[in-house]
Amino acid sequence: MPLQAVEPRRLYRQIADQLRALIHRGVYEVGTRLPAERDLATRLGVSRPSVREALIALEVEGLVEVRPGSGIHVVAREPAASAQRLEPNAFGPFEIIRARQVVEGELAALAADVASRAQVAGLREAIALMEDDIAAGAMPTRGDRLFHVRLAEAAGNGPLVRTVTELYDERNNPLFEQMGHHFESEKSWRKAIAEHRSVVAAVAAHKPDAARRAMHLHLERSQARFADAWPPATAPAPVAMPS
């Protein structure tokens, strides 16, 4: 069964479905490597981030394995019995981050208008918690979540606080967690902390436009960190792309 161009609707699920079927039929055999991400994106007519989400979904299912410096290898024809299952309508990490960028940019601007000194101090406390967790060798998601929720609270809109909380907690779905396993590190988190500080500086100075820009930039760079540094393949793929 050849790969087919997909429509721009739930792209990563459509891509994963096609690749899963090819693996099941033995077009990509266990022990071989999938074509490069760039080649898959070109053949499917989609973006590389969408392909990346699909490959991570297949890794969550136990069908493929990411091997740094070697590429994406097929390790099973069927999902592992112990594999985590993605919800049918689970959002991809890139879509979640884009939604957060829209919502949280405006919340940062609102917070810059009305945030109190105590609320600004609370944002700095959340950053300090992130730094403490990094120093302890832990992923600083507690402080990161607290920062984004407190910023929404500072904007003074209850329904949007709930929206921000729910969007942030999408990080707990298996796809997002596996993406973080590959692409989040102490270095990337320290960059996020520096970006948080820029948001706080703008909020503390009561500069809405600057706060909006700082939050947009933070989430844009967060997305870029998930899109960069995929482990490269060092040898030609052993299986040709189906035509």
Chain segment 146-172, per-residue pLDDT in tens: 999 999 999 999 999 999 999 999 999
Whether 80 shows a pLDDT value over 90: the answer reads no
Band of pLDDT at residue 56, cut at 50, 70 and 90: very high
- What pLDDT, in 10s, does the model give residues 209-220? 999 999 999 999
66 assigned to some structural domain: no
Indicate whether 84 belongs to any domain: no
Query: Comparing C-alpha atoms, which of 200, 172, 188, 176 is closest to residue 229?
Result: 188
Q: Which domain holds residue 183?
A: 93-227
Asked if the model's pLDDT at residue 240 lies above 50, the reply is no
Domain CATH for 199: 1.20.120.530
Q: Give the pLDDT score at 237.
A: 40
Question: What is this structure's pTM?
Answer: 0.84
Number of DSSP helices (H) and strands (E) in the chain, helices first: 10, 2
Residue 86 lies in a domain: no
- What's the structural domain count of the chain? 1
Let me know if residue 52 belongs to a domain. Answer: no
180 domain-assigned: yes
| Residue 73 forms part of a structural domain | no
Q: Is residue 48 domain-resident?
A: no
Greater pLDDT, 98 or 238: 98
**176 within some domain:** yes
